[in-house]
Chain A
Amino acid sequence: MKLDSTNPGQKYSLHATRKKDMETMGLPFPREWNRENFNLPPNWKEVALAKLDELRRKYRELQLFFDICVACGACADKCPFFIATKDPHNMPVARQELLRSVYRRYFTTAGRMFKGLAGGRELTEKLIHDWYIYFYQCSQCRRCAVFCPYGIDTAVFTMAAREVMTAIGLTPRSLTESIAKCEVVGNHMGMQPAAMLNSISFAEEEIKEETGIEVHVPINKKGAEILFIAPSADFFGEPHWLTFKGYLKLFHQIGLDYTMSTYASEGGNFGTWLNYEHMKKINRKIMKEAERLGVKWILGGECGHMWRVLHAYMGTMNVNPEFLEEPISPITGTRFKNASYSKAVHVCEFTADLIRHQKLRLDHSKNDQYVVTFSDSCNPARFMGLIEEPRYILQNVCKNFVEIDPSVNRERTICCTAGGGLLSDETLELRLRAIKPKVDAIRETGANFLALVCAIDKAVYPEYFKHYGLQTQVGGVHELVGNALVMT
């Protein structure tokens, strides 16, 4: 694969956070700045190096990955952004090297003595500009880590570099706008509790019109068994909305004792992509609300990075959730051992278990007009191994299910390329180029319905298909479940 030494990746840089939002969020060094002129504080270098030193002592994986990469190159052409741009800095190992070289220069004996000869690099403002570009051209999808013999994970570097950049006041607007809304109003969409209630009652009405059945959604109900969390896009996004109705129909049909919350109205967590502090802050609301409502465990909707936080990080991030119990399905009695650490169950696991125990009456003829395919999302696939469950559900709710070429799907998936804070107009062209291998693979399947389990996937695929001229419809797994479910 040829390299493009003109660094085409330099074109795609995210807009700066407004001073007002920096103040709202309590970010360091609130000031006017833009992506060309960072207007860095005078002591930025000391702050950045102190932060990097703190991080490498705090995270074993970061220190380890700094030390053991042998630059074998197995990851080089696995990154969708490298495939799209051929920019040398977009090779996962080269992206890591932007940070690793600084670590070598300032924190290893050889680097302090021999500098460049030991693979070290001075921390300059020019390098910080490269960080701001290339660490925001990583969607933290971790495809590279699957191919690395040591499992070295570029997301670890990306998170660390963003943490350092946040400490010196460099944060992109695409993230902070949503995080500020989430921390002030309650969710990334900036939706007030009343709007959420409104939205839910609309869903109830629509289900009544479609099926004639009266569905009642419990809200802020103390003492419910389960707290149901969904990404806020599900409340009115298109095509998320149909998936949302799918959940509600399902829960009504099986008589689940659950509640939704207007306080924990956001499952997603854009803070994950900025720094630890804001990830923890946003996640904390779910824990607080689970404790206040006295639920036993948490059921989560179709979302990508939400599952990264819920499944992997939540167990240690906000005090081990000891007031919660190991999830047991009230309908089938199945104990979800995989969730005993985090007490959060993915709705696909839950539904797959219901189908397995034949608790649902399904009529796939409602989905017969579709040839359905399923695209794995990076976080559910690589952070929790949720690969078979959605497929099991789809094979039960529709007749025509086809697979995408596994070289860009399953654990090797190239997913939406819009995660990690890249969901913005500045990166649209980059994303369209990066998604091409996946879109080609979807076109080859001949499917006319693409089922997804990620809110960002659902938001961006219609745009990608429009660009590449595919007629494929986009929707959620539980949209198809909702269609096929025979309600009584």
Chain B
Amino acid sequence: MDAITYTVTIVLPYVTLGIFCLGVTYRIINWLTQPMPIHWILYPGSRTQIGGNSSRTLLEILSFRSIFQGEKKLWTTAWLFHLTLAIILLGHVRVFTDFPQLWSTLGLTEKNVDWLALVVGGSAGIISLVTLSVLLARRLTIPEVKAISDIADFLLPALLLAIVITGDSLRFLTALQLDEIRRYFAGLATFSYNVIPQNPVFLTHFLLVQLLMICLPFSKIMHFVGLLFNLRTVHGW
């Protein structure tokens, strides 16, 4: 293995994971440790901090209801995009490992699971591609949204779009051997290094994801953590 391959396929993933974890932790600790000298309340909100506020926040995360009441079109695309993103992230667990025990408990054969992954994962891949393109097109065409967008608002969706496109082509256009990829990641996890699959689309996809993971802690994608700190509370009645 030459030095460049070694750096990119063996060293870089550890660096990426390190930056990602430390970065996100730093941001969360930074927010948590800052004072709140005056109390902010926003109605409609919940009346109890622990029970009410958490369930309200959970509902907000699952349904995006604040956007729903204001902007129905935006809600449709944004909600579908985030939903399919969640499905895709969940599906990617199978890229690293498989759960034969779980499948047999559920009475599923390997074939069933692959078929399920193709239908659910595949449609999620397509829907996320479409909704992401719509969201990006929206930034370019609607004057007021264009006016409030800065460069990062275009670059981040563009990066996501590139990841989704390469991911979709891996799913639909490439005969990819999952075993090879699993062996590679197992090697990384156990520090016994295996050769990375030599598929150019996979390599591109993998590198773009790492780029995203490096940028993420310092970008507005951190909104997925930040929304847990919202103001939507009212004093208990």
Chosen A-B contacts, 17 in total, with CB atoms closer than 8 Å, are: A2-B143, A3-B143, A58-B34, A64-B31, A71-B153, A91-B144, A93-B148, A119-B151, A142-B42, A146-B44, A148-B66, A312-B40, A313-B38, A339-B235, A382-B42, A385-B41, A385-B44
Q: Judge if A1 is at the interface, Cβ distance under 8 Å.
A: yes
A67 contacts B222, CB within 8 Å? Answer: yes
Min CB distance, B182 to chain A, in Å?
34
B236 contacts A338, CB within 8 Å? Answer: yes
Minimal Cβ-Cβ distance residue in B for A387: B43
Sort A-B residue pairs by CB-CB distance and give the 3 closest, nearest first: A68-B226, A60-B34, A147-B70
Known contacts A338-B235, A341-B235, A312 near B31 by CB under 8 Å = no
In the bound complex, what is the Cα–Cα distance between A303 and B141 (angstroms)? 43
In the bound complex, what is the Cα–Cα distance between A231 and B191 (angstroms)? 71
Q: Judge if B99 is at the interface, Cβ distance under 8 Å.
A: no
Known contacts A3-B147, A153-B42, A74 near B66 by CB under 8 Å = yes
In the bound complex, what is the Cα–Cα distance between A337 and B237 (angstroms)? 5
> Using a CB-CB cutoff of 8 Å, which residues 61-93 of chain A contact chain B?
61, 63-64, 67-78, 88, 91, 93
In the bound complex, what is the Cα–Cα distance between A3 and B43 (angstroms)? 30
Min CB distance, B15 to chain A, in Å?
18
B41 contacts A383, CB within 8 Å? Answer: yes
Contact mask A357-399 → B, CB, 8 Å, 1/0?
A: 0000000000000000000000001111101000000000000
**Residue in A63, A118, A146 whose CB lies within 8 Å of B34:** A63
CB-CB under 8 A from B234, the residues of chain A are: 338, 384-385
**Residue in B67, B71, B144, B226 whose CB lies within 8 Å of A67:** B226
> Using a CB-CB cutoff of 8 Å, which residues 15-47 of chain B contact chain A?
27, 30-31, 34-45
B151 contacts A117, CB within 8 Å? Answer: yes
Task: List B residues at the A interface (Cβ < 8 Å).
Answer: 27, 30-31, 34-45, 60, 64, 66-67, 69-71, 74, 78, 142-145, 147-153, 218, 220-223, 226-227, 229-232, 234-237
Q: Judge if A97 is at the interface, Cβ distance under 8 Å.
A: yes
CB-CB under 8 A from A101, the residues of chain B are: 150
**Residue in A68, A73, A146, A340 whose CB lies within 8 Å of B222:** A68
In the bound complex, what is the Cα–Cα distance between A97 and B151 (angstroms)? 13
CB-CB under 8 A from B70, the residues of chain A are: 74-75, 78, 147
A382 contacts B237, CB within 8 Å? Answer: no
**Residue in B66, B71, B150, B231 whose CB lies within 8 Å of A71:** B150
A63 contacts B31, CB within 8 Å? Answer: yes
Q: Report the count of interface residues on A (CB-CB < 8 A).
A: 64
Minimal Cβ-Cβ distance residue in A for B44: A411
Min CB distance, B67 to chain A, in Å?
5
In the bound complex, what is the Cα–Cα distance between A384 and B45 (angstroms)? 10
Minimal Cβ-Cβ distance residue in B for A142: B42
CB-CB under 8 A from A311, the residues of chain B are: 41, 235
Q: Judge if A488 is at the interface, Cβ distance under 8 Å.
A: no
B34 contacts A57, CB within 8 Å? Answer: yes
B220 contacts A149, CB within 8 Å? Answer: no
Q: Judge if A315 is at the interface, Cβ distance under 8 Å.
A: yes
Min CB distance, A247 to chain B, in Å?
23
Minimal Cβ-Cβ distance residue in B for A57: B34
**Residue in A58, A70, A276, A316 whose CB lies within 8 Å of B153:** A70
Minimal Cβ-Cβ distance residue in B for A308: B41
A384 contacts B41, CB within 8 Å? Answer: yes
In the bound complex, what is the Cα–Cα distance between A387 and B35 (angstroms)? 30
In the bound complex, what is the Cα–Cα distance between A422 and B137 (angstroms)? 37
Minimal Cβ-Cβ distance residue in A for B155: A117
Minimal Cβ-Cβ distance residue in B for A76: B144
B34 contacts A59, CB within 8 Å? Answer: yes
CB-CB under 8 A from B44, the residues of chain A are: 146, 385, 411
Minimal Cβ-Cβ distance residue in B for A341: B235
Q: Judge if A94 is at the interface, Cβ distance under 8 Å.
A: yes
B42 contacts A97, CB within 8 Å? Answer: no
Q: Judge if A150 is at the interface, Cβ distance under 8 Å.
A: yes
